[in-house]
Amino acid sequence: MRNYSLTALTFTILFSTSALAKEPLKGRFEINGRAGNDRSIAMTEFWVPFSQNEESVIYGDLRLMGDNKNNREGNLGVGYRKITKAPYLGKGVAGIHSWIDKRITDQGSKFYQATIGTEWLSQDIDIRTNAYIPLSDKKEYTISNPNANNLTGNTIQVGTNGTLVEEPLYGLDLELGYELGSSYKYFRDHTDSFRIYGGGYYFDGDHTKSVQGIRGRVITDISKNIQLGARIQHDNSRDTQGFLEATFRFPIDAKQSYRDTGLYARLEESPERDIDIVTNDTVTETPDTTILINKATGLPQEVLIVDNTAAAGGDGSAEKPFNTLASAEAAASAHTILYMRRGNGNITNQDQGILLNKTGQQLIGSGTDFVYEPNKYKTKNGKQISSNIITPATEPAVITNINAGGDGIHVRADDITIGGIKIVAANDDGITVNNAQNFTLYDTEILNSGNDGLDIFIDDNRSHDVSINNLQTSSSGDKGIELTVYNSSSLNYTQRNSISSNNGDQGISLSYSDNSTGNALVDSSTLKNNNNNNIQVYTHDNTKVNWTIKNNIIDGTNLYFGILVRSSGDSSVDSAIIKNNYITNSKLDGIVLDLSGSNTSTINNAVITENKINNNRRDGISLGAYRGSGGILNALIESNDIQNNDGHGIQMGVDENASLSASVNKNLITLNDRHGINIYDSSTGSNTIDLGGGTFGAEGQNRIYDNADEEIRVDLDGAELKAENNYWGTNSGLTPSETSLIDASSIDFTPFLTETP
């Protein structure tokens, strides 16, 4: 049963005993249990008088209820009663009470309502009415369709959800009662009271059907402390419900005796009202089965199915698949989905590759969940589907191309999607993408391609988006992934959760040139043991690009660098973010930012932060502006772990008339085989490095110690290096023996940190 909590209330009893000739009314606690044919209920009640005299009382009432169907309710009320006379009714107790109610239904809905009640309680006749006013709106719930989605014929059949609406109802009830004990000696002698009641109720809502019914009950106080009873009700929604009940009151003898004090005892009776916030529910939409519509065409989505174990002569339907990939390629139109079952798991009838050259085609294999995509599809009935998975993943279907110069998959149209395929030993590229806008590739493996694993080539002077997720390229003859953009084209490239390993050249090579523009993101991927640079990004010839390389594992190269970002030929990198990568075992440097060739190119606002750069065969980080009049400007090197590299921890240098400016903060630079930091300047341009307290307001906070050569080497053509607020491995700061100053350059390291920050 779900725990139910209500704000605890403290009632203060206010009464003056000296003003009462009779014993004053007392607060009490009641436990009520009801065992029924449909449900069983447990309830607690706290009844407390606030103010009273012999003829009236103001009281508070708190009730908590729960049943065996996970309904929970709380009621907080106040009331007023007075002994008075009424026309035609004689002497009795007139009362009014109001409540705030909260209920949690078995659906999990939370509803609030206000309740207002009136009552007339006399020696023989009782009259009670209550009005119930919802304070909450309806709640809607989804009814899942139990029928699975499936491929049927050449269409996609899906189950759509239904909707259930639950709402609290407005209501009114009326009850009349009669005290039998006054008329029968047995009841007078053996009970404190014995009453029977009958009445009716009506509840109505805006979205569900009304509830109307009748109820009756019998209640007897066999003593001041124990009440027994039975009740029954019947309505058009809940059918017939009957209960046997018992109430126990504490402390003992807290309640007045009706036989002893008459109407005065009735001032403290528990108000009678519906124990529930009455709700009803209805199914406004039933679960259904329908087909998917392609949003681009407005027609049922066409699916052609390939299974290389199927009988010859198939039509591409789910019941009679094609048994060759070539048959599906020939039959496919724009926006067709070609779905490849695993078949026998080899390249039988799937060894000639495939050309996707019609807009919106999708090649989906059994190696991925075939999912509903709301940007591409809609249901014919316009409802939400029960499950986004149309066909769950198993093992992938396998493709190759054994023809000379043949690609496993060749893409030459816009809006193409590929997923769930394994491409092995294609003669040329695993996948070639040529001037295709909006290309998506996911959950795909490319092994042992003769050339590149994935080759994307763009030169059509248009804007493009490429999205790669969970791609594995391994053991390609050339690059794992090659991206080439030129001729004033634009590309936004996103790669996540991918692996590129053991390829013959770069793991990833991204190149923008000839007035091209764009953005590139490589995120959460693994680049390992590629023969050349693991990640290589180039900008050439008047290009303008932003790079982000983050959250990657970059482990081992046979040649060159872990990450190389290079700009040449008057191009501009507006930002280069290299963040939270683990870079190790590179043949040369871990990270290189480089300007090369005679040019005015720039790398602006580079951020190298939170990387772990360990055990590379040369420098951990190298920034070099070696040619022309461009520069690496406003770089930030911060919070990196740079250890155990065979060269310098960080090297920054400029030649000719190039410029370099950088802030260096909060790095750990230790146990490197050469200098912790090496700065040199052979340029007529500017070289502004701030390790703390300098032009860029760097904080310092670097830890530079235990490097094999001096901790820092400075060649700034006689200028001073600002390096304040750093820790140099001792409490005495930077000693002369740990400093190499060239051409009368100097270093300001005071103040310094005396312990590691």
φ, ψ dihedrals at 563, nearest 5°: -130, 130
φ, ψ dihedrals at 298, nearest 5°: 75, 10
Are 500 and 524 contacting, i.e. CB atoms less than 8 angstroms apart? no
Q: Say which residues have a Cβ less than 8 Å from residue 624's Cβ, sequence separation at least 6.
A: 592, 593, 594, 595, 632, 651, 652, 653, 654
Query: And the tokens for 36?
Result: 């029924």
How far is residue 45's CA from residue 61's CA, in Å, rounded to a whole number? 7
Return the SS3 of 311: coil
Query: And the tokens for 509?
Result: 């090579």
Pairing of strands 439-447, 463-474: parallel
User: Which is nearest to 625 in space by CA: 585, 577, 675, 565?
Assistant: 565
How far is residue 509's CA from residue 476's CA, in Å, rounded to a whole number? 13
Are 365 and 421 contacting, i.e. CB atoms less than 8 angstroms apart? yes
pLDDT at position 624 = 87
Which one-letter amino acid corresponds to residue 80?
Y
Return the SS3 of 222: coil
pLDDT tens sequence across 26-48: 999 999 999 999 999 999 999 99
The whole-angstrom distance between residue 605's C-alpha and the CA centroid of its chain comes to 31
Query: And the tokens for 142?
Result: 């989804």
How far is residue 234's CA from residue 226's CA, in Å, rounded to a whole number? 27
Using 70 as the pLDDT threshold, list the residues of the chain that sit under it: 1-21, 597-599, 627-628
Please count the helices (runs of H) and the strands (runs of E) in the chain: 4, 62
User: Which is nearest to 198 in space by CA: 213, 177, 184, 183?
Assistant: 177
Are 507 and 530 contacting, i.e. CB atoms less than 8 angstroms apart? yes
Q: Read off the DSSP letter of residue 736.
A: G
193, with CB counted inside 10 A (0-12, 13-18, 19+), is: buried
How many of the other CB atoms lie within 10 Å of CB of 679?
28
Q: In Å, what is the CA distance from 160 to each residue of 148, 180, 220, 285, 369?
A: 10, 59, 54, 10, 19
The H or E element that residue 206 is part of is none
Query: Among residues of the chain, what percentage have pLDDT more than 90?
Result: 84
The whole-angstrom distance between residue 80's C-alpha and the CA centroid of its chain comes to 52
Q: What angle do CA 643, 649, 651 make, to 5 degrees?
A: 165
How far is residue 733's CA from residue 747's CA, in Å, rounded to a whole number? 12
Which one-letter amino acid corresponds to residue 184?
Y
How far is residue 71's CA from residue 102's CA, in Å, rounded to a whole number? 11
How far is residue 186's CA from residue 180's CA, in Å, rounded to a whole number? 10
Q: Read off the DSSP letter of residue 148.
A: P
Q: Say which residues have a Cβ less than 8 Å from residue 201's Cβ, sequence separation at least 6.
A: 171, 172, 173, 174, 211, 212, 213, 214, 215, 235, 274
pLDDT at position 5 = 36
Are 565 and 576 contacting, i.e. CB atoms less than 8 angstroms apart? yes
The percent of the chain in helix, strand and coil, each rounded to the nearest 5, is 5, 50, 45
pLDDT at position 537 = 93
Are 468 and 439 contacting, i.e. CB atoms less than 8 angstroms apart? no
Are 33 and 41 contacting, i.e. CB atoms less than 8 angstroms apart? yes
The H or E element that residue 261 is part of is helix 258-261
467, with CB counted inside 10 A (0-12, 13-18, 19+), is: middle
Q: In Å, what is the CA distance from 670 to each residue of 615, 645, 727, 728, 748?
A: 11, 9, 11, 10, 20
CATH of domain 27-144+166-282: 2.40.160.160
pLDDT at position 13 = 34
Q: Read off the DSSP letter of residue 635.
A: E
Q: Say which residues have a Cβ less than 8 Å from residue 484's Cβ, sequence separation at least 6.
A: 455, 456, 457, 458, 459, 511
Domain assignments of the chain as residue spans, ordered by start: 27-144+166-282, 561-757
